[in-house]
Amino acid sequence: MEHFRVDYRRDFLTGGLSNTFGVAGKGEIDIGPSIVIRGKKWRPFWFSANVELRFDAAQVANVQRDGRSVHFDVLPGREIPNPGHLTVTAQDEETAGKIAQLLPATRTAVFEQQQRELSDFKERLARATPHAFVTPSLVAINVIVFAAMVVGGVGVIDPDGRMVVSWGSNFGPLTTDGQWWRLFTSMFLHFGIVHLAVNMWALYDTGRVVERLYGNAHFVLLYVGAGLGGSIASLLWNPMVNSAGASGAIFGVYGGLLAFMLDRRNQVPASIMNAQRLSAIMFILYSLISGMRHEGIDNAAHLGGLASGFVMGWLLARPLDAEARSTSGFRRLAIALAAATVALVLAALPIKNTGETYRKDQQYLVDVKWLDEEEKRLAAKIEQWQQLGRSGSPPAELAERLERDIIAPFQAIHDRLTKNPLDENSRLRAHQALVLESITNRLDAFRLLAESIRTDDPRKLEQAKARVAASAKAIEKLGQLTPKK
């Protein structure tokens, strides 16, 4: 009996389908006349439990090794009546090879048929597209652009969004204001090295297969069309978005894979179609759910890219047959290009231009900063005026100094703020309304105070106090609406 320490890992895309016995984590496998599996079994809402499975070696079939991982089926028997599947990961490839050699070499008829179909599929795929050079080229471009961004001062881990905008991200106020090229350039920019690494892994892992399925030129059109579709969907969902990354296009690659594997006319064996469909669906669901659970992930771009990629894939897909590809390649490419152009233009038509709103918001933020400085200066003026009143200055002089040193500057503040009314959909509109309410009430209060001093009218003084109280209420509300830069 040979003893090995292994890991039982469940593929995050296929979950329990890669390990139907639920064994996970570090464990052991004993190989002899009997096979003994020891590990942990995950239990929902509770601690993992130790588990030991024992079955005859004769129940093992269809052994496959992939690097450090060994996959095998468990056929029905006395100890385990239901069939299953296990994946074990060894410490190194040499150990994995030894485990695979010790396990029985039995292969079922269904497995043999699937292997023949897989071998034939790979041969036809290689003949259809001998060189899948587009995918590694796209990965290289993304990496080079990110390196240039880092050299240019953009952070490696958590870059400043404003700097990414300067490199061409899909920033709604600029994109919708005429810089539509950002729909394309944003596909090659990333918010940090983790964002880049995850996207490039997904692109390289699946892109090479999808590129061979469609052909080099068709894959380029699918990728770019999906990326543009994702960028437009992002703007439709949130016109003030600052979005970047290849994920919209990558979702389109998975959408194209799904479209190809749903059409039986493309001459893909059923066993391969089922496996690829499952892989694509699990990736899509996992990514979308993950995006809903974490802030900063643009699921609108993901869904837009997925839908665009699926439609483009359906239009561009051709059977894995050299003759069929040679006769329909250019026609399908032209139809898909025309359809994509029309669809993207129509999809972009409802997008509102948020450029003017953004510029007004930015000017208002400048005004708010200026207002803070002005109010500090006016606070000193008010203190000086109050000292003048305490010193017994004549009412006429007090009123004149009030109008010159306080009322006139407040009027200038009021005039500047009212010259830049924010749009109804501005995120700062409520803030501006409260600022203006506060300034207007204080301006009225000082005017009423000046009239009260000149006419010795106590009613004007009470009215001034009421305006001061109203201004204080507006300032209290304002504290909850501090504008974000």
Q: Are 407 and 467 in contact (CB under 8 A)?
A: no
CA distances from 63 to 59, 88, 150 (A): 11, 11, 46
DSSP 57-75: GGGEEEEEEETTEEEEEE-
* CB-neighbour burial class of residue 288 (10 A; exposed 0-12, middle 13-18, buried 19+): middle
User: 140 exposed, middle or buried (CB, 10 Å; 0-12, 13-18, 19+)?
Assistant: exposed
- From the list 69, 169, 186, 247, the catalytic residue is 247
**Pick the catalytic residue: 190, 195, 218, 302?**
302
Residue 265 CB neighbours (<10 A): 9
Would you call 247 a catalytic residue per the annotation? yes
Catalytic site includes residue 71: no
Do residues 435 and 464 make contact, with C-beta atoms less than 8 angstroms apart?
A: no
Half-sphere exposure of 297 (CA within 13 A, CB side): 17
Q: What residue spans of 294-419 are helical by DSSP H?
A: 299-316, 322-348, 355-390, 395-402, 408-418
Q: Strand pairing of 2-8 and 23-31?
A: antiparallel
Distance of CA 238 to the CA centre of its chain: 13
Report, as residue numbers or ranges, the catalytic residues.
247, 302
